[in-house]
Amino acid sequence: MQVGSHEVAFSNPDKVFFPERGLTKGDLVAYYLSVADQALPHLRRRPFHMKRFPNGVAADFFHQKRVPAKHPDYVGEVPVSFPSGHSTVFAILDNEAALAWAINLGCIELHTWHSRVPELELPDYLLIDLDPSADGQWEHVRTIALVVREVMDELGLPSFPKTSGATGFHILAPIVPELPFPAVRRFAKALAEEVERRIGDQEIATTTWRVADRKGVFVDFGQNARDRTIACAYSARPVPDARVSAPLLWDEVPSVDPSVFTLETMVARVAAVGDPMAGMWEQAVSLAPKLAALGVT
C-alpha cells in the first residue's frame, strides 16, 4: 500500500482482528491512517514497545521490545540500556508509513515511553492514571479526575484528559524535559496524595500501593517511571468492542462514557469535535520550580 511517499508491505488485510465487531486488520490500519495527524504528535521520537496480536484480540499476543533487524528505513530506531546491563533497540514511529508498518506486525495498541530522543532520561509529561479496583467505580473516576484538574490548575500545570480505552482514565501534564524520572515520580506521588486528601474517602480514591488493600480508585503515580509505557492518545485497545483511548474536553469529563469511543466512531468524532490535545506539547511547563509547592525535594 502507498502511504505518503513510501510503499508499505501489508499482509492479510481481511483477517478479522475484532470478532465481536467484525473489524479487520485492514479496518485497523485505515483507522490509524485517518487519525495519523492527531496520533503522531504523541508518537514521534519515543521508544515504541510492540505488543503484537498477529491473529487479533481473541488469540495469543506477545511483547517485543527489539525492533526487527530487517525493518524499512522509514522506521526509526534508538538503542536503550537498562540497569540490569541488558540493552535493546526500540523502534521509533515518526511518520504514517512507520505507523502502518507497526499495524501490519499486529500492533493493535500504541505503547510509548514517557520520554523522547535524545532526552530519554527526562520525561516530557507527568501522568496521573486513575485505575478502578472494582466494577462500578466509573462515577468515582470522573469525580476524581476533576479534583486532579483542580490540583493541577492550582500548581499551574496544563492538564489534558483522555480515556485509557480500557478500564481507566489518564490525565497528562506536559512538562519541560529537565527532571529525571525519579523526581517526576516523587512529584506525581505528592500530587496524588493531595488528591486523595481532598477526596477524603479512601473507598473513593486511594494511593495505597498494595493491590489487596485497595477499595477505591487507585490514583496511580507509579507510571512516572523509566521504561513504563501507556497506550497513547488515539491508540486502539485489544478489547472486544474495539475501544480507543480518546482525548477529551474537560467539560465532557463529568458525563463521559468511554464505551462510545471506538474504531467505528473516532474518525467522525475528530471531524466533529477536533483534537482536544492539539497543541498540547507546545504548552509544556517547567516542573522544577513547582516541587516545593508539594514539599518535594
**What confidence tens digit (pLDDT) does each residue in 266-297 have?**
999 999 999 999 999 999 999 999 999 999 98
pLDDT tens digits, 4-55? 999 999 999 999 999 999 999 999 999 999 999 999 999 999 999 999 999 9
State whether residue 168 is helix, strand or coil: coil
- Inter-helix orientation angle 181-199/138-155, to 10°: 120
Instruction: Tell me what pLDDT residue 297 has.
Output: 86
Which has the closest alpha carbon to 150: 102, 89, 191?
191
Instruction: Tell me what pLDDT residue 193 has.
Output: 97
Which has the closest alpha carbon to 170: 97, 119, 234, 260?
234
Report how far residue 89's alpha carbon sits from residue 136's, in angstroms, rounded to the nearest whole number: 41
Which has the closest alpha carbon to 123: 188, 174, 77, 157?
174
171 pLDDT above the threshold of 90? yes
DSSP secondary-structure letter at 278? T
pLDDT tens digits, 215-273? 999 999 999 999 999 999 999 999 999 999 999 999 999 999 999 999 999 999 999 99
State whether residue 204 is helix, strand or coil: coil
- Whether 277 and 233 have beta carbons less than 8 Å apart is answered as yes
Average pLDDT over residues 195-216: 93
- Whether 190 and 99 have beta carbons less than 8 Å apart is answered as no
Report how far residue 144's alpha carbon sits from residue 254's, in angstroms, rounded to the nearest whole number: 10
Instruction: Tell me what pLDDT residue 213 has.
Output: 87
Instruction: Tell me what pLDDT residue 95 has.
Output: 97
